[in-house]
Structure 1
Amino acid sequence: MAALVLGTLAGCSSDSGGKADPTAGATHKAAAPVRLPVPDGFATETGWSTSASPEATDAEPGSSGFPLVAVAPTSGLVIQAAADGSRVRAFALASGKTVWTFTPKALTGVRAGVFVQEGKAGEKVVLARQGKTSGSGLSTSRRTTTIDVIAADSAKKATAAHHLDLAAPDDTAASFTATDSGILVGPVTDGVHEKAVAIDAATGAERSVQKRSVTVSGCGSGSCSVQASPAFATSQGVVSAFQQQDGCDQWAEGGTPCTYGFQVGDAWNSTSVAPSGMHVGIPLAVTGPYLVAAWHTSDTQTDPPTLSAPKRTILAVHDLSTGKIKAQVSCTSADAITLQPGSAQSSIHRSPNGDFLVSGQVGFDLSTGRGHCFTSTASTKGIDLTAVADDGTAYGIVHVVDDTEATSLYGRLPIAQDGTDTPEHDSARVSLRSGTATALPAASEVPVYVASGGHGVFRTRDVVAVYPGS
């Protein structure tokens, strides 16, 4: 892509830094479209666009971070938050018309993120902010994390159905780990929380979640208990990840291999659904009724699991409620990319018809159970997938290996940072039916969402644009 680089819809942070926010004007409206360089199949002469604020790198790579743009697919809305958290605006995806706006209680020094969650009560927009209260009057200023939940089908002047104010200790750098069905608030290390607050967007209820004891099989001659840390929340409960250290052979000297694994709520754990011969399972992401996990054998437990060569890794789509594998594919990569709990959450998307799914560098045809790898080889570069359409056409950014932690994490999309000269990225179009990949013209932007009617949503460092299919 050109100097305008895609900012992921989930996995970013932002701080206004005292600069004027282009999204904050009360009379702001979607304008005639800026004509970005996009793939064939999108009509850039029609549609709409609006200004956007750059999304800076999240302090905790691998978490879902602080995105400023999200899509509510059922409601047909593009949701945009101001960088300073002072306003949320919902645009009709097809027309760009402002459907509603939301103005939260004021905070200072804000980092804001906006998410869309789906439940039985319909789509909810979640505005998550870190900042400080004003300290006016007799009240002292204090750090806080606030959560505002707004119904996606709100009227013109939206109000929060639920408002949560969570005290934030001065020595704690909290983050948000959000999926389309749950949110955790708390410090993140290597993709997991020591402890966190789980938020139910439907009810506004909050509860504390911490490490839990999980029983795993294969500990020598029997079972043993391990401590599992919360990674992300789903409709089936919190997914917790663990690393077995006792009752196993950590040095691959002929004993029972140690296990990396995970527990999904109280429903199932990875040891009961692991593919044959796979001792390591990492929960990468969740969307709707599916969880994507990475599986492979392990020689030792001294290093984090990686997607590399020549050892093969199985990427699988599991039924979230039962653990049953719905689709899978075996992959290798010429790049050593760390597999971390939740690291592919920012890149997981289903096609609107539900037939296809992408996450990280793999894509699946759920109707056939087949998957395709778009990982690197000795002669080709990997592709980080960003969106998939109803016909199985997916788009992505050519993976760039550099010294940043973000590029070493599987599934993490590149983020456009404010005040930096972001390098150009190449991009590609792939078919999840055939597994073929085609390079796009230089400087092409790729969509972050493709609607059932063909509209593509594009996000650069300072523009959000929506173009109809041509």
Structure 2
Amino acid sequence: MRQRIVRLALAGGVLVLALLLLLATCGGDGGGGGSDKNPKKPTKRTAGPSTRLTVPPEYTTEHGWEIIGAAPEYAVSRPTGRLAFLVTASGNRYRLRTIDAASGKLAWSGTAWRPPDPLHFPKLLAVSTEDRQYFVTWAYGKVGDGLSVTDTFVSVDVYDAADGTRRRVEVPWSGAPKVTATGPDILISDGRANSALIDPATGQVSRTAPSALKYPKGCPSCKQLTEVRGQTAQGLLVSGQREFWVRGGWFSRNVAPKGADRRSGVPTSVAPGWILAKWQLAKGAKRAASHELWAVHDAKTGKPVVSVECHKPAIEPGRYPQAVVSPSGGHLVAGNLAFDLEAAKGFCLEEEDGSTSVTLASVTDRGVAYGAMNVRDATDALEGGGAPVEMEFATGAVSPLSPNVRLPGMETAGVGLFRWTDRRDRLHLIGYTRSG
């Protein structure tokens, strides 16, 4: 029933999208800031979105744009200034639409298409090559009504972010796929050692068998729990039970950060250009029993850029926080970790006894990160859970925000992106302009 309600909301979004964007750019109803769960009704005419959330003071709700009924995911192309999102079309089909992220004006729209499994929403990514940027939608399903896993495939649509030119690629795949785009290609993996790469410019597919992962010599743990983690400009990033490497490139043992056990590295998250890895402290180190070393590595060379020590968790998490990078790539956050990549400063946001309560969810080029205390993860923080906070990289200080503040999922083109679900279960994607 939940699935049907959400699908109806998305369908309604197609009808109201143009009107909302018109209101956002030409003027609409506005009013005082309401709570994140119940915004106040508009009371006066002014430019900006009709929905007025309570947001951090760095943003103004007086100017921006608003979309109702888009799918939860969105993607941004910084070079072109485009923001992409999915909406439903008739006949169990979907359509990719784009807007200018700064103004909210409609840009190009893709042709409606039907995914292999109509019961599941397609996913949306962005991937960059040296000279182009692409939006990527993907879905997984089967051909016909047969039950054989050999009939299943990953359907990928690649759109040029500048003009919407589309290329479709279908890759036979058995089992649930994991699709990522840390660049320059689109990576399909099974969460283990099998993988395939799609060149977004040509659609060419290349597969890599587990036997071709070029395991480093003298690393028995590399052949245990082997997993293709992502892609770098130098090749596939692969990890074992301990230690990690780039196929045909560098090996973690040779680029370990100072103070770490060289044979202990484990990558926990991959972002375009960067790898966040966890290391054990060198044997004999004063805090080896209680702390771990977290480092951000340059994905091209493997060299550590910045590191920080943090308490070991009482219980090892089943899934580590995903690294989030600021639009220009100068700052990175993940859970209670924050890194200024340009100044080579790392922060572990925890109490002296190791208790952790801050989870960062987004970060801007201005060196401000947003998150919340006492939440399960970043998604919970962005949905209004916990006590919202902001962190200043200049000082490392964490400051509380108003209890009902909504946090930006990211900032692009001087606009903070906020998500909110109304009482009719419709998702709103709202762009509020940064003040000043």
Question: Does TM, normalized by the shorter one, top 0.5?
Answer: yes
Residue 98 (structure 2) aligns with = 90
- 2:291 maps to which of 290, 312, 320: 312
Shift of 1:376: 5.7
Q: What letter matches 1:120 in structure 2?
A: E
1:329 aligns with 2:312: no
2-structure distance, mates of 1:120, 1:85: 32
- 1:444 maps to which of 393, 405, 413: 405
- RMSD over aligned CA atoms reads 3.2
2-structure distance, mates of 1:335, 1:203: 47
2-structure distance, mates of 1:324, 1:214: 19
Residue 343 (structure 2) aligns with = 368
Per-residue CA deviation, residues 170-192 of structure 1 (Å, 9 max, x unaligned), is xx22232333544322433xxxx
Secondary structure of the structure 1 residue equivalent to 2:61: coil
1:428 aligns with 2:389: yes
Within a 5 Å distance, the mapping from 1:37-436 to structure 2 comes to 37-53=54-70, 55=72, 68-82=73-87, 86-107=94-115, 108-132=118-142, 143-154=152-163, 158-160=164-166, 162-169=167-174, 172-188=175-191, 193-211=192-210, 212-217=213-218, 226=223, 228-243=226-241, 260-275=242-257, 276-278=259-261, 279-297=263-281, 311-332=290-311, 336-338=315-317, 343-345=320-322, 347-352=323-328, 354-375=329-350, 378=353, 381-401=356-376, 413-414=379-380, 424-436=385-397
Per-residue CA deviation, residues 249-276 of structure 1 (Å, 9 max, x unaligned), is xxxxxxxxxxx11112321011111234
Residue 39 (structure 2) aligns with = none
Per-residue CA deviation, residues 327-358 of structure 1 (Å, 9 max, x unaligned), is 11111266635276xx444x421243x43222
Distance 1:217 1:367, change over 3 A: same
Distance 1:321 1:18, change over 3 A: closer
**Larger relative contact order (Cα-Cα within 8 Å, sequence gap ≥ 6):** 1
2-structure distance, mates of 1:287, 1:225: 22
Distance 1:457 1:204, change over 3 A: same
TM-score, structure 1 normalization? 0.72
2-structure distance, mates of 1:86, 1:235: 32
Secondary structure of the structure 2 residue equivalent to 1:280: coil
Q: What letter matches 1:349 in structure 2?
A: V
2-structure distance, mates of 1:207, 1:229: 17
1-structure distance, mates of 2:347, 2:334: 11
Per-residue CA deviation, residues 19-78 of structure 1 (Å, 9 max, x unaligned), is 3142652673235312122111101121011114565xxxxxxxxxxxx21222222122
Q: What letter matches 2:400 in structure 1?
A: A
TM-score, structure 2 normalization? 0.77
Residue 457 (structure 1) aligns with = 417
Q: What letter matches 2:181 in structure 1?
A: A
Secondary structure of the structure 1 residue equivalent to 2:253: helix
Shift of 1:298: 9.4
Distance 1:366 1:186, change over 3 A: closer
Shift of 1:384: 2.5
Shift of 1:127: 0.8
2-structure distance, mates of 1:16, 1:128: 21
2-structure distance, mates of 1:230, 1:327: 24
Q: What letter matches 1:446 in structure 2?
A: L
1-structure distance, mates of 2:205, 2:230: 14
Secondary structure of the structure 1 residue equivalent to 2:245: strand
Secondary structure of the structure 2 residue equivalent to 1:207: strand
Distance 1:186 1:42, change over 3 A: same
Secondary structure of the structure 1 residue equivalent to 2:122: strand
Write 1 or 2 for the structure with the bigger share of helix: 2
Residue 34 (structure 2) aligns with = none
Residue 58 (structure 1) aligns with = none
Shift of 1:102: 1.0
Give the conservation status (yes or no) of the 8 Å contact 1:285–1:348. no
Secondary structure of the structure 2 residue equivalent to 1:20: helix
Give the number of equivalent residue pairs: 383
Shift of 1:149: 0.6
- What stretches of structure 1 of length at least 5 have no aligned partner? 1-13, 56-67, 136-141, 244-259, 300-307, 402-406, 417-421
Q: What letter matches 1:159 in structure 2?
A: T
Secondary structure of the structure 1 residue equivalent to 2:223: strand
- What stretches of structure 2 of length at least 5 have no aligned partner? 25-48, 146-150, 422-426
Q: What letter matches 1:205 in structure 2?
A: Q
Per-residue CA deviation, residues 74-97 of structure 1 (Å, 9 max, x unaligned), is 221221123666111111111111
